[in-house]
Structure 1
Amino acid sequence: MEEAEGQPEERREAAAPGPASVESDEPPVKKKPRVMESESTLLGPRLEERLSSVLCCTVCLDLPKEAIYQCSNGHLMCAGCFIHLLADARLKEEQATCPNCRCEISLSLCCRNLAVEKAVSELPSTCGYCQQNFPRACLERHQHEHCHNRPTRCRYWRIGCRWEGPYHEVPAHEAACVHPHKPGGDLMEILADMDTQHQKEVLLFQDILQLLSLEKIGCTEVQFRPYRTDDFITRLYYETPRVTVLNHTWVLKARVNDSERNPNLSSERTLSFQLLMRSKLPAAMDCAFLLLRAPYEDVPLRPVVYRHTFSGESTESPYLPLPITDAIECNRLLAAKNFSLRLFLFHVTKS
């Protein structure tokens, strides 16, 4: 009985399915292979990103958009930052140094790196309007001429239309623009503003032509040289050697930001100049004068005519703004050891 009773148990044990003998319709689970690091993971960021971090300016940490200068140890600086460092050093009466290695930098010690400039011009850059990538050398032309999303004004903006939108929407807007259909009475105010601006330019042109027809005209080149005041806090100013024009001796002075205490802390910088007579005058002398770019110089100046009456009691004109275009050009003048301008002086006689 024990053997008989044991047989079913053995049969049950033999018939009992084990985990290895279970049959299933599901496919067998494969072991995951060892994941190897891809080549992109080993290399890190893309080549363009790595080059951008290597070729960027050491001051602003951005890719230069124009000329690129390097110190004697090879550290790169974009033209704007390089000129700004030289201008700051001139204002603080210090020697300009590279912000990375602290070696001396100047216009004579540093040179442009043309190879880096060409390499930067070939790096891809994203258009801010259509988000497509283009070489940096072609990006500006694309954004101004070819991009379909570039901001564009309506062709009737001269008569008051203030619409501005992407270029591909211009035809639809101009077809529905109401400004070309406005009556002339509504456009008179706009045309009056345009005439006022045009009249200012015409008057300046006519004023210069009238001065050129005067009998006594003098012209000379003046060189502004940097000096320091004798105050407790020294300030930078410029002065020219004496020049003789119209049988009189003259000197020009210039100052930065109207001689404020710390012009190096300001990002907006201006230059103002003063014309001084150094010879004796028997009678009052009405003069008109203006400063323009000297030959072989690249200082952009707007023509502005100034007037002053010189006499024995008034031998100095007030400080007048030097009509340079922006603060960047002011930094260029400050960075240079000297800068030259052309002085035109007119003796205005009463007719």
Structure 2
Amino acid sequence: MSETQAPTTSTETSSVVENLDKHEDFVEPDAKKRKISKPADDKTHKLEDRLGGILCCAVCLDLPRAAVYQCSNGHLMCAGCFTHILADARLRDETATCPSCRVEISKTSATRNLAVENAVSELPSECQFCNKKFPRNSLERHEESECEERISRCKFDRIGCPWRGPAHERSAHENECVHPHRSGAEIMETLKAYDQKLLEERKLYDSIFDLLGYEKISFNDVQLKPYRTDGFVHRLFYESSRFTAFSNQWVIKAGITNNQKDPTQCSERDISYQVIGK
């Protein structure tokens, strides 16, 4: 059986066309709007990001803050990561290698890259207080003494004022601070705590001067040799040969990161010394 369609009238055709026109006017491709609304300095921002990615440390992937070292193939490492790589190799009793190309590195073979250091110092960085961008070589001075949003203390903090706030609010607070008008008895409590802290520091210095004031002082040139434990996790320690002091035999022993279960999996390094009487 054949089906028949009802002929469309001119009125229905015109209404469909009008609806399509309205729909086409209403819909706008999102891509075109995003392209038109791009900021003018987008390329500059991308260039800074690209430079940051090129000049960053190969280990921590962050821009170096001070010295920049490189291996013989030119891969960059910040001073902190370079020191950790040498310490880790020493901890494992192995040869230190570049994390990118595995070429051998040491204090004598690695060199500083002054051009990269100067380039990184000119890249902009954001202030942690006001969020404005400054060249890295002037950011520290800005955060310490110039930024109006940096955290500052009240000048009456020695007599107990706990106020901490932005630098631009310091003058207004000090004009209204109540601590200068406190009674002597109230201020004495704060000064006692302050004097107690100074007394503890004084005791430390006095003990050092007492040691230097002994009549008998022995000087020895001691050389520490590396050794390794035989456990499942090999730990590195150093021990000196026996030496004579104050009519007794002594040995100095130094442990590396003894507070860690596996020192090879930690980036922290600390050395504890023991003077053992034999």
TM-score, normalisation: structure 1 = 0.62
Deviations 1:187-215 (A, max 9, x none): 23322221111111212222222232221
Q: Measured at CA, do residues 172 and 41 of structure 1 come closer, stay the same or move farther in structure 2, by a change above 3 Å?
A: closer
CA contact (8 A) 2:72 2:109 kept: yes
Quote the residue 1:273 is aligned against. 273
Matched, 1:206 2:206: yes
**Paired residue secondary structure (2:269):** coil
**Paired residue secondary structure (2:225):** strand
Which 5+ residue runs of structure 1 have no aligned equivalent?
1-34, 278-314, 316-351
Q: For 2:233 and 2:50, how far apart are their aligned partners in 1?
A: 46
Deviations 1:249-279 (A, max 9, x none): 43211102336541222344322111123xx
Q: Which has the higher contact order (CA 8 A, sep 6+)?
A: 1
**Paired residue secondary structure (1:120):** helix
Q: For 1:172 and 1:54, how far apart are their aligned partners in 2?
A: 46
Matched, 1:61 2:61: yes
**Paired residue secondary structure (1:258):** coil
CA contact (8 A) 1:235 1:259 kept: no
Quote the residue 1:304 is aligned against. none
Quote the residue 1:195 is aligned against. 195
Which 5+ residue runs of structure 2 have no aligned equivalent?
1-34
Deviation at 1:231, TM superposition (A): 3.8
Q: For 2:232 and 2:266, how far apart are their aligned partners in 1?
A: 21
Letter aligned with residue 171 of structure 1: S
Deviations 1:108-128 (A, max 9, x none): 221111111111112222222
Within 5 Å, give how 1:27-106 maps onto structure 2.
45-106=45-106
TM-score, normalisation: structure 2 = 0.77
Q: Give identity over the alignment, percent.
A: 52
Q: For 2:171 and 2:178, how far apart are their aligned partners in 1?
A: 14
| Larger helix fraction of residues | 2
Deviation at 1:45, TM superposition (A): 4.6
CA contact (8 A) 2:235 2:263 kept: no
Q: For 1:259 and 1:125, how far apart are their aligned partners in 2?
A: 36
CA contact (8 A) 1:235 1:261 kept: no
Deviations 1:165-186 (A, max 9, x none): 1111000011111111111222
Q: Measured at CA, do residues 43 and 130 of structure 1 come closer, stay the same or move farther in structure 2, by a change above 3 Å?
A: closer
Within 5 Å, give how 1:120-269 maps onto structure 2.
120-258=120-258, 260-269=260-269
Calculate the aligned-residue CA RMSD, in Å: 2.6
